[in-house]
Structure 1
């Protein structure tokens, strides 16, 4: 298992992180312009990063591993830069929160912390499929209150609700996800309490800091 570091051959020099200029939400059928200091990554670039990255072991639970059954995709684990925890699919949560994504695992214990990133050339976006339940991650735009726009692995197919743009910042060596459904960046809700503490929600108009930043680990090695 390797940490995914930058290894892109055609990357322009990036500046220090700055807040992007406010503007209209991007159209749902195409990725928005990259925020300042961040570059959108496509499927081929992500594959090259995983193949050529420097090796760094992610903490695996004793006796556990991830089965690489989706060989046509990049199998990754996401670690929140905010709390240092890995994102898990909450399979045992009761409806309607079954499958909510939450940064709460100290290590990669298995499929619960694994995701297949599938690149779509037409839309130039990624879909994320949870290895825990073989379901695509959707942005729950119609949820209300504190769960509105929560990320949940519940879809059998990938449509507009399940599409994301993946960004990389070389200076920070971190990644960010933007939902194409609402044009907002995925945030780890560190300030929540209870069962939804550390839940992932697409609700930020900017990448303001570690709340929207993640480290990716390659599970295919």
Structure 2
């Protein structure tokens, strides 16, 4: 069966308009549930909202890898991420050698299967998500102890979830885009478009705010 990706963005505007998570108007004062670094117009998304969005029937189809017939996810929390900066899908580099085994990079032209798939697991107590890669069944961690260009890179390498593996998910209704914030260091995930070599397009939690396409993503449900 040919895989289908359904965009979460198209149905969220109507959802937020009637939801307690509705985004504030431009120029509004920061809300108590939003850190000062989060620009006005960006709102947190919880598990209930994400599930309802993922079940929308009218979303558009995303580009697929030619000839792909990989098995499809059945749960709506299984998602693919596409960088707004370079229009590439985020992939888990599970075959990379240490210390970058499992690093996340926005480098695929289309969704081709588990390499580009992630399970977004909600934790009600902390109000955060853990991301588990479908490529290697490992949770995504922020490598704050790495140094240099690799500091705070995202790697799918953990077998359990702690502070290193927690993220807050945000959505902007006006921009129709998504962003991730690490709870480990309070920084937003950016795609390193200007990197070269094996870490080109790597994802790192290193931005103090959502400044543009570097920190913005499309999300797609993985459906049948």
- Structure 1 residues 66 and 36, CA gap change in structure 2 (3 angstroms): farther
Q: Unaligned 5+ residue runs, structure 1? A: 22-29
* CA deviations over 1:142-183 (Å, ceiling 9, x no partner): 100000000000000111100000000000000000000000
Q: Which residue of 2 aligns with 1:191?
A: 194
**CA shift at 1:52, angstroms?**
2.3
Would you say the 8 A contact 1:3–1:53 is kept in 2?
no
Supply the distance in 2 between the matched residues of 1:55 and 1:130 (Cα, whole angstroms). 23
Q: What is the match of residue 86 of structure 2?
A: 83
> Are 1:12 and 2:16 counterparts?
no
Q: Does 1:165 align with 2:168?
A: yes
Higher mean alpha-carbon deviation, 61-70 vs 46-55, is at 61-70
**Which residue does 1:133 correspond to in 2?**
136
1:63 matched residue in structure 2: 67
Contact 2:178 2:219 in 1 (8 A): yes
Distance in 1 separating the partners of 2:58 and 2:183: 31
Deviations 1:105-156 (A, max 9, x none): 0000110000000000011000000000000000001100000000000000
Does the Cα contact within 8 Å between 1:68 and 1:75 map onto a contact in 2? no
Query: 1:60, CA displacement in angstroms?
Result: 1.2
SS at match of 2:52: helix
| Aligned with residue 52 of structure 2, among 35, 48, 54 | 48
Contact 2:122 2:130 in 1 (8 A): yes
Does the 8 Å contact 1:66/1:114 carry over to 2? Answer: no
For the Cα contact (< 8 Å) 2:23–2:172, is it kept in 1? no
Other structure's SS at 1:49 match: helix
Task: Write out per-residue CA displacement over residues 52-87 of structure 1, whole angstroms, 9 at most, x where no aligned residue.
Answer: 26321111112325545573x600000000000000
TM-score normalised per structure 1: 0.88
Rounded to whole Å, the distance in 2 between the matches of 1:113 and 1:154 is 15
Query: In the alignment, is the contact (CA less than 8 A) between 1:3 and 1:54 conserved in 2?
Result: no
SS at match of 1:219: strand
Aligned to 1:142: 145
Looking at structure 1, the residues matched to 73 and 63 of structure 2 have their Cα atoms a distance apart, in angstroms, of: 21
Q: What residue ranges of structure 2 are gaps of 5+ in the alignment? A: none
| Residue 24 of structure 1: aligned partner | none
- Output the TM-score relative to the length of structure 2: 0.87
Q: Distance in 1 between matches of 2:34 and 2:71?
A: 31
Distance in 2, Cα, partners of 1:121 & 1:67 = 29
